[in-house]
Amino acid sequence: MGCDLDMSNPSVRKELDDWGRWYLNLIKPQGVRLDAVKHIEFTFFEDWLNQMRTDTNNPDLFAVGEYWNADCGKLLHYLDVNNNCLSLFDVALHFQFFNAGNASGFFDMGSLLNNTIISERPMNAVTFVDNHDTQPGQGTFFFCGGMVQAAGVCRDPAAERWTALCLLWGSVRHPA
């Protein structure tokens, strides 16, 4: 991604710890979004998030990572490696929405949640239909749009709760 960090270098890790503490203490967010986590040493975020939660006295700090891969097995492996210390955007579900929206009415809606984080590990799923990466003109062009966006709110019946949902501001239409 053009900006590689040597995660094996203790001074790099210390700088990230110092920056994280400074940022979280200054802003006091309820959660953080971690971009392109598959490009960073897989074991980094478990230690880092645990340290940040301890150092900022915020054990409930929510974290969601962006890992662009349609293979739910790879997403679950990432969660396993990190002992489920964060959630992931359910990219596998996004691709199910994309497939449904492009199937000309021939998509089995009963299979919509198959092989998705929401079906396998609902407490670690942040659902979305489209985002800044999927809009026309972007590098990851798998834009669902239309009726699929309207139907994109997911409910986990097993947990009897609504999942964390991420809406793309660019897809929200306001009446004129």
Which amino acids are annotated catalytic? Answer: 35, 66
Burial class of 48 by CB neighbour count within 10 A (0 to 12, 13 to 18, 19+) = buried
Question: Rounded to an integer, what distance in angstroms lies between the CA atom of residue 59 and that of residue 8?
Answer: 26
Question: Rounded to an integer, what distance in angstroms lies between the CA atom of residue 54 and that of residue 117?
Answer: 27
Nearest Cα residue to 148 out of 96, 92, 71: 96
